Amino acid sequence: MINSRIFAHQWTTSESREIFSESARVARWLDVIIRLAQAQAECGIIPAGAANEIAKLSEVDLPIDEIALRTRQTSHSTLGMIQVLRELLSEQSAEYVYFGTTVQDITDNSQILELREVGMLLWRDLWLIENDLLEMSAKHRTTYMAGRTHGQPGSPITFGFKAATWDDEIGRHLQRLREGCGRFIVGQFGGAVGTAGFFADRAADLKTAFCRKLNLAEPGISWLSARDRQAEFGHLLAMCSLSLARIANEVYNLQRREIGELAERAQATTVGSITMPHKRNPESSEQIVALARLASAQAAVLTETMLHEHERDGRSWKAEWAVFPEICHYTLAASGMARELISGLEINAEAMTRNLGGNASSEYLLSLMTTRLGKHNAQALLQDAYRRSKQEQRPIESVLEGELTEQELDGLSKIEIGAAENMIDRVVETARQRRTTETENWL
């Protein structure tokens, strides 16, 4: 689906396809190789002239088909590319490309650079989504609607309250992304088994210079077999996807014709059903849910890569090559769709009021009667009354005639939302305060 010319727009974005395209991957690997050579020249390990010549490879249009052929011939992850690069260099400089390092010194750093780009895009989307949800929460602070539990109408809430719970959750993901920067965006340098033994007493300085050239934080120790950073980031992507799916799932359900409280914005060209022209399907909402399920599944696989054997285990870290791009595609597709969904969400306040029904005051009535009868006695009385009201098709007032005080009778028509407005205000105020110290940019 990701590479489908017909369906890719539902499973990925143009931005994520650019990050993980074959040409971008090769260019990223080459950039890491160039930074390595520059760091080695800075530390006096290879000649400066060789590093300069290697750096000029960035101007060359690398033959990907030839790299692919050499990769298959050598059965080695990066040797095919190194062979091609060596042939583009002078005999003297060719000896210093990919000097003294190993596959993971290239691919792990490349993956962290990908992670950084993905994180920046996700931050941007969540930042914009949070802004729309803040406005929605404040605007609909007193737009009454039915709260629902177990799929059934319960006590009243406001739509602003519902939106504020969404906003509060998205805000926590923004905080997690911010707090995770120092753990996620970290360079890798270890050589054969993590000690960079090839470089002897110059290894520590080279590690520092290499990470600086890549603009990545320097790790205290190499992490060839410690994959918790990728696993944590993957789970954060899954959590973000699932939070967006919670919003989308609510829209999916409340767009049902018999409920009609929310709806996706539809274009004039949108077709709900070929055979049922009246339908208006929540296409984006259901797609976001599907994407979240896939992201969640891939996060589980990514966690499995934490189980490594000894100092290098291709069974684990090579699995990341397949899983990591996919979870990024799914998450960015979900966040992009969610931006559109939320910014264009149609809110039907009249339907929300209509769907409150005649039983919205039962919790408040219970609290009034508890003072007089005790909680459990009052609950039992009301439970039976509402049962009889439905069974006998009589108004609840008729069933409870003679049982209620004047104050309790007034309570039958009162919409009580407790601390909902206070909670909305706190969420909105806290988020807006936090956003004064942040920007739309992750880094």
Distance CA 248, CA 240 (A): 12
- 67-73, Cβ contacts within 8 angstroms, sequence gap of 24 or more: 67/26
Whose CA is closest to 285, among 234, 346, 233? 346
- The strand ranges marked E within 140-289 are 144-149, 152-158, 262-263
> What is the C-alpha to C-alpha distance for residues 142 and 74, in angstroms, rounded to an integer?
67
Taking CA 264 as the corner, what is the angle to CA 260 and CA 267, rounded to the nearest 5 degrees? 125
Catalytic residue among 14, 23, 273, 398: 273
Per the residue annotation, which of 150, 278, 310, 376 is the catalytic one?
A: 150
Give me the numbers of helices (H) and strands (E) for the chain, helices first please. 18, 4
- Other CB atoms within 10 A of residue 419 CB: 10
CA gap 206, 396 in Å, rounded = 79
Question: How far apart (Å, rounded) are the C-alpha atoms in residues 324 and 336?
Answer: 18
CA–CA dist 405, 77 (Å, integer): 81
| CA neighbours closer than 13 Å in the CB half-sphere of residue 300 | 5
Q: Among this protein's residues, is 273 annotated catalytic?
A: yes
Catalytic residues: 150, 273
